Amino acid sequence: MTSSTSPFGEPKIEQLIVDTNAIVNGTTLQRTAKEFYTCPEIINEVRSAHSREYLSRLPFEIQVEDPTEEAMKAVVEFSKKTGDFASLSLPDLKVLALTYTFEARANGVNGIRKEPVRARPTGNLPSAPPPKQKSVPAVEDTVDDDGWETATNKKKGRHYHNNNKKKSQQQKKKEEDDDDSDVGEWITPDNIEEYKATELGVTPEELKKPKNLTVACMTSDFAMQNVLLQMNMNLVSTGGHRITKVKNWILRCHACFAVTSNMEKKFCPKCGNASLQRVSCSTNSQGQVTYYLKKNYQYNLRGTKYDIPKPQGGRQVNNIVLREDQREYVKANQNKGKKGVLDMFDPDFIPLAGKPGIDDRFVGNNMFGTDVIGFGRRNPNASRRGGRRK
């Protein structure tokens, strides 16, 4: 079914794929698109009474459809290349794949990117510039006529000089702010379109010019937005929140500061430590990569204060894995290749269901069959209560 005609004009989108957050937030959808689609997993995620009532009161029907297998495969491979696969759930991937399906039907796959637009980040991050040395004025010692030398507190004189300098800077800044406040321009109905265009990064002419979209996706999930923009598919956000810059993810070692674009790595390829952390980066038109690090970031040392436990034998024991060439890690990778990878998109797949023929060790916190990569967060020497004994 199509949405009713709005007094504000015809909808600008032919087919809109809706994510869960658009339904939970109660987004006004009537004058957004002509047809609305979603996948069955999204409807199942809507459980609150308020959201259910919102769905029942819509003057149109949100049609439910499943994406194609080709679309699912393309979205999964692309999200792994951008580094967003770990942040996307199965319903998120299906919404992206459904957008891919409709885009391929309407405009073909030639306009959809197969590779992310980015420069490959390799090597080390640029080191921080050396701290600037502050010049401290020398305090002259006064000598009396009697031959005795008077001691002067240099620390007190330095603080006195710094306080006077700060006061003068604050006074100067206050005067500049007063001048700027007199020159500032008010937002009026005449120039509000210019301010809107400036915030969105477009010209006022482009803002006024209507742009009709054939297929678009509405979501406020930033990982999904990043994949949509990089795949060159149309994005409509709930409440105007949209990513304006193409962002990628890399892995940065906190020990040696080396970076790698292989998001499947668990250990640093340079120093071998399990200290890789996900860091966002962006690429400009010249191909220069900018890394965005947290200010005053403190590395979490939880778990490193405990003694490393003795390795234990047995099939059900998961020893702590600290290096990539460790026997448990290598064996888990070999067994993973023999057993095969669990297919999350299999219609018969049920997480943690204990299907026959599947080793339960491979349904864990990671794909390698071990519970912990690195030191972990708990005391590995503490005794834990076992299962129920008969």
Taking a C-beta distance cutoff of 8 angstroms, is the pair 329, 321 a contact?
yes
256 labeled binding residue = yes
Distance, CA of 139 to CA of 358 (rounded, Å): 78
Beta bridge partners of 258: 124
19-30 pLDDT tens trace: 988 888 888 787
Answer yes or no: is pLDDT of 78 > 90: yes
Confidence (pLDDT) at 221: 82
Distance, CA of 268 to CA of 260 (rounded, Å): 8
Residue predicted with more confidence, 320 or 134: 320
- ∠ CA(233), CA(252), CA(300), 5° rounding? 115
Torsion of CA 280, 284, 288, 290, to 10 degrees: -30
271 labeled binding residue = yes
114-124 pLDDT tens trace: 888 755 554 44
Answer yes or no: is pLDDT of 2 > 50: no
Least confident of 63-67, 163-167, 272-276: 163-167
Residue predicted with more confidence, 224 or 30: 224
Distance, CA of 212 to CA of 296 (rounded, Å): 45
Confidence (pLDDT) at 307: 82
Confidence (pLDDT) at 312: 75
Taking a C-beta distance cutoff of 8 angstroms, is the pair 372, 323 a contact?
no
Distance, CA of 133 to CA of 188 (rounded, Å): 48
Percent of the chain with pLDDT strictly greater than 90: 12
- Burial category of 23 from C-beta neighbours within 10 Å (exposed 0-12, middle 13-18, buried 19 and up): buried
344-353 pLDDT tens trace: 555 555 544 4
Helix (H) or strand (E) holding 163: helix 154-183
61 Cβ neighbours under 8 A, 6+ residues apart: 1, 36
What confidence tier does 148 reach under pLDDT thresholds 50, 70, 90? low
Q: Which of 10-14, 33-37, 240-244, 299-303 has the highest mean pLDDT?
A: 33-37
Specify the residue for token string 């080191």.
Answer: 127
Distance, CA of 305 to CA of 308 (rounded, Å): 9
Q: Please give the structure tokens belonging to residue 279.
A: 């860091």
Q: Closest by alpha carbon to 17, among 88, 103, 82, 76?
A: 103
Rounded mean pLDDT, 227-253: 76
Least confident of 6-15, 56-65, 99-108, 225-234: 6-15
Q: Closest by alpha carbon to 257, among 236, 273, 241?
A: 273
Taking a C-beta distance cutoff of 8 angstroms, is the pair 374, 322 a contact?
yes
268 labeled binding residue = yes
Rounded mean pLDDT, 138-163: 53
Rounded mean pLDDT, 181-199: 64
Distance, CA of 85 to CA of 222 (rounded, Å): 12
Q: Which of 22-36, 147-161, 242-256 has the highest mean pLDDT?
A: 22-36
CB count within 10 Å of CB 370 equals: 20
Q: For all residues of the chain together, what is the average pLDDT?
A: 72
217 labeled binding residue = no
249-284 pLDDT tens trace: 889 999 999 998 888 788 899 998 888 988 988 766
Least confident of 175-184, 240-249, 366-375: 175-184
